[in-house]
Amino acid sequence: MHDFLKDPRFAGIERFDKKVWLSSPTMHGDEQRWVDEAIQTNWVSTVGANIDAVENEMAEYLGCKYAVGLSCGTASLHLATKLAGEKLYGQAKPNQGTLAGHKVFASDVTFDASINPIAYEDGEAVFIDTETDTWNMSPEALEKAFELYPDVKLIVIAHLYGTPGKIDEIRKIADAHGALIVEDAAESLGATYKGVQTGTFGDFNAISFIVTKILTSKTDKTEPLLAA
Ligand SMILES: Cc1ncc(COP(=O)(O)O)c(C=O)c1O
């Protein structure tokens, strides 16, 4: 395995003395009140006033038309990928995913939840190299991939560590090839690209509120799938 601490590109970076823990969920103040209220009013559910409020506030904050609360970012990405496949290739046959027989371009450095939905939908991921300036999908590599596989119609991109990828260039390439984009903004809530919120550039977009993310919530939580 590559020893990053010996890599000259990371010279001067040292290990932390102490382990840095993930943020642990806390329940007090308003969070406590809303949890109590949900239990007392019997709205521990996938619908209800609190879910509506999260969906509406997120859509307004991001500047997209709709936000739909799901169980987790992974579920959001699965639904996004399924819907993209359905839009491109029509409804799936019984026991088949919407991407059956199709290749999908995807970021090669990301959490596996960006990619797994391609397999859940019976597609085949073709990984696109990452560039060093954003640590996200390289537009040049994407362009080259379209030369090799001109029939591809779906791109799954992730913005890692709160840093947006080069959306304009990627969108231009996607449009030139009639391809849709699933934007995985799980890690970039609040990050903007040229003044516009990430999570609104794809044809289908997902964000996450798990404990490692910018806004955290309890695990098994409500996470928006966003349709710009
Ligand atoms: C880039 C990326 N995509 C998707 C996910 C999946 O989100 P969740 O854990 O809420 O399912 C994560 C993090 O967990 C992530 O970092």
Residues 80-116: tens digit of each pLDDT: 999 999 999 999 999 999 999 999 999 999 999 999 9
Alpha-carbon span 188 to 50, nearest angstrom: 23
Of 70, 174, 151, the closest CA to residue 113 belongs to 70
Which residues lie across from 67 on neighbouring strands?
226
Alpha-carbon span 67 to 72, nearest angstrom: 13
- From ligand 1's centre to the CA of 75, what distance in Å? 9
- From ligand 1's centre to the CA of 166, what distance in Å? 20
Q: Which of 156, 187, 212 to mutate to test the pocket of ligand 1 (most atoms within 8 A of CB)?
A: 187
Cβ–Cβ < 8 Å for 73, 113: yes
Residue 131 pLDDT > 90, yes or no?
yes
Please compute, for residue 168, the number of CA atoms within 13 A of its CA located in the half-sphere on the CB side.
5
Q: With left for phi above 0 and alpha for psi between -120 and 50, is residue 29 left, alpha or beta?
A: left
Cβ–Cβ < 8 Å for 107, 145: no
Summary mean pLDDT of the chain:
91
Residue 13 pLDDT > 90, yes or no?
no
Q: What pLDDT sits at residue 220?
A: 43
* Burial class (CB within 10 angstroms; exposed 0-12, middle 13-18, buried 19+) of 75: middle
Q: How far is CA 48 from the centre of its chain?
A: 25
What is residue 138's DSSP assignment?
-
Q: Which residues line ligand 1 (CB under 6 A)?
A: 72-74, 77, 110-111, 113-114, 158, 184, 186-187, 208, 210, 223
| Ligand 1 atom closest to the CA of 209, numbered from 1 | 10
Residue 138 pLDDT > 80, yes or no?
yes
Least confident span in 65-79, 128-142, 144-158, 207-221: 207-221
Q: Return the amino acid letter for 51.
A: I
- Residue with the smallest CA separation from ligand 1 atom 1 is 111
- Cα dist. 89→75, 81, 102 in Å? 21, 12, 9
What mean pLDDT is predicted for residues 42-51?
86
Least confident span in 7-21, 56-70, 177-191: 7-21
- For 218, phi then psi, to 5°, come to -60, 150
Alpha-carbon span 5 to 194, nearest angstrom: 34
Q: What pLDDT sits at residue 12?
A: 87
The residue behind tokens 């919407």 is 98
Q: Which of 22, 23, 74 to mutate to test the pocket of ligand 1 (most atoms within 8 A of CB)?
A: 74
Q: pLDDT tens digits, residue range 179-219?
A: 999 999 999 999 999 999 999 999 999 999 887 888 877 65
- Cα dist. 178→6, 88, 165, 190 in Å? 44, 10, 20, 28
The structural domains of the chain, ordered by start, are 53-227 (3.40.640.10)
- From ligand 1's centre to the CA of 43, what distance in Å? 26
- From ligand 1's centre to the CA of 179, what distance in Å? 23
Q: Which of 71, 76, 77, 111 to mutate to test the pocket of ligand 1 (most atoms within 8 A of CB)?
A: 111
- From ligand 1's centre to the CA of 49, what distance in Å? 25
What mean pLDDT is predicted for residues 116-145?
97
CB neighbours of 178 closer than 8 A, spacing ≥ 6? Answer: 153
Q: pLDDT tens digits, residue range 148-167?
A: 999 999 999 999 999 999 99
